[in-house]
Homo-oligomer: A and B are copies of this chain.
Amino acid sequence: MSILDMLAIPEQIEAEGGYVIATYYLETAARSEIIQKVSAIAVEQTTGTWIPVPEETPEVRERHVAKVVGVYEVPGHEFEVPSSCDTRQFVFQLAFPAVNFGPQIPMLLSTVIGNISMSGKLKLLDLKFPKEFLDGFKGPKFGVPGVRRLLGVESRPLLNNMIKPCTGYPPEVGAKLFAQAVRGGVDIVKDDELIADPPFCPMVDRVKLYMEAARQIYEETGHKVLYTVNVTDRADKVRDNAHRAIDAGVNALMINYLTVGISAMQGLAEDPDINVPILAHLDFAGTMYESPISGMSSHLVLGKLARLAGADVVVYPSPYGKFPFLKERYLQIGHHLLSKWQHLQPVFPMPGGGVMPNVVPAIINDFGNDCILGAGGAIHGHPMGPVAGGKAMRQAIDAVINGVSLKAAAEQYPELKAAVDAWGLMDEDEKSLFEIKQ
């Protein structure tokens, strides 16, 4: 098979169907043979190895080898490479026959970013799936419409609270914090990712106490809440944890899906006996996306793959808070979660990490109403206490959807005013962003 035989025209690949298109960044020595290098990667990740072997027949290659569908230099030299150039940078695309791995995430990842994750300066930038691959995934069981239906909230942005402290408290203290947050108007309370089922705060005890508090508040006020309990554990124990929590009365789940494995979340989402929404927590994602020259893009880890695996809500970094995170990445992830994508329901983006009332206008401006504001410290660390903390966040949301500036709303609501007074000056960038929006 000649090198030219390894190349294919994108329209041809599209017409044949059944290929996953992977887009990569690659940095190489200025004098390396790029087409040869990219072809070698295509072979290495499908049928071949460093040497021809007898059973890698033309028929095997024809059906199963990856094809090179594009190699683009950035910026592009057409005549000669200046001698001052030590390295050259490329974006290239490979088309992998989906039949090689079938509709499952682990074998997909082993193929598109398995051994080549160790092959020098290469990053997986994007994946595009054929219909027959996507048809193998049920996707989110609830998604945006399902979560809204459960909460009875038609169109307003939702408010989530992470209980703080993150860990170290007994169930009774957690229940008190839970009830305070809910009385403040929170729609979803989630465990922190740092608590699961420790001896000092057993999962089932938390569920029972929190759900009892939820029931009481609902009877008093009619306000509904989802509690996403953290079922993170050894992969083969996650399902059992979920069932124990559901038996104890919980109405939603949470999983640190990247430390357990993305497909463990899919196992929960596609379990016909699990009829509650799932919140996917981002921790560990940086190990895979932080490097610009290895790993894979954040919008794959936190966007497409999470949606494929059935997350109903994805928590990920807000660019206005405590994580260093490009706004464009945060928007890309939101785009991959919310946009129309075959039969896969839209997923709530939930920016978190230092979310407080003054960033609410920016986030709603970015996503529209289909987003969840994820506030931890802004609620439990509010100067007037957690109930006021919840109220201040809800007041900020209501102000934005009613077209009222936060400044004006703060004049009306003491809880919002206390938050703006306390944190308005916390970060000049956030403040100026807020000022511009208003």
Contacts and interface: CB of A to CB of B under 8 A. Distances in A.
Interface in A215-269: 232-239, 256, 259-264, 266-267
A288 B215 CA distance: 43
A205 interface: no
Interface residues of A, number: 99
Interface of A is mostly: loop
Interface in A120-168: 120, 164-168
A339 interface: no
Contacts of A64: 165, 167-168
B105 A234 contact: yes
B46 A166 contact: yes
A52 to B, nearest CB: 6
Given A60-B169, A64-B168, A260-B235, A381 B52 contact: yes
A296 interface: yes
Contacts of A79: none
B164 A381 contact: no
Interface stretch (A322-330, A394-402, A406-414): A322-330
A53 B193 CA distance: 17
B168 A46 contact: yes
A115 B262 CA distance: 17
A266 B167 contact: no
A369 interface: no
A286 B118 contact: yes
A166 B267 CA distance: 27
A285 B115 CA distance: 8
B234 A104 contact: yes
Contacts of A263: 233-236, 260-261
Given A117-B285, A118-B286, A263-B234, A49 B377 contact: yes
A283 to B, nearest CB: 3
Contacts of A3: none
Contact of A259 (B114, B236, B238): B114
Contacts of A235: 106, 235-236, 238, 260-261, 263-264, 266-267
A433 interface: no
A99 interface: yes
A354 interface: yes
A176 B102 CA distance: 25
Contacts of A232: 106-107, 110
A295 interface: yes
15 contacts: A50-B377, A51-B377, A54-B386, A55-B165, A99-B199, A101-B196, A104-B233, A106-B233, A118-B282, A118-B317, A235-B236, A235-B263, A261-B262, A287-B296, A290-B293
Interface of A: 45-56, 60-61, 63-65, 99-102, 104-107, 109-111, 113-120, 164-169, 173, 176-177, 193-200, 232-239, 256, 259-264, 266-267, 271, 281-288, 290-291, 293-296, 317, 322-325, 353-354, 376-378, 380-381, 385-386
Given A106-B234, A235-B263, 13 more contacts: A45-B194, A60-B168, A64-B167, A99-B198, A106-B232, A106-B233, A107-B259, A114-B194, A117-B284, A235-B266, A287-B288, A288-B295, A290-B294
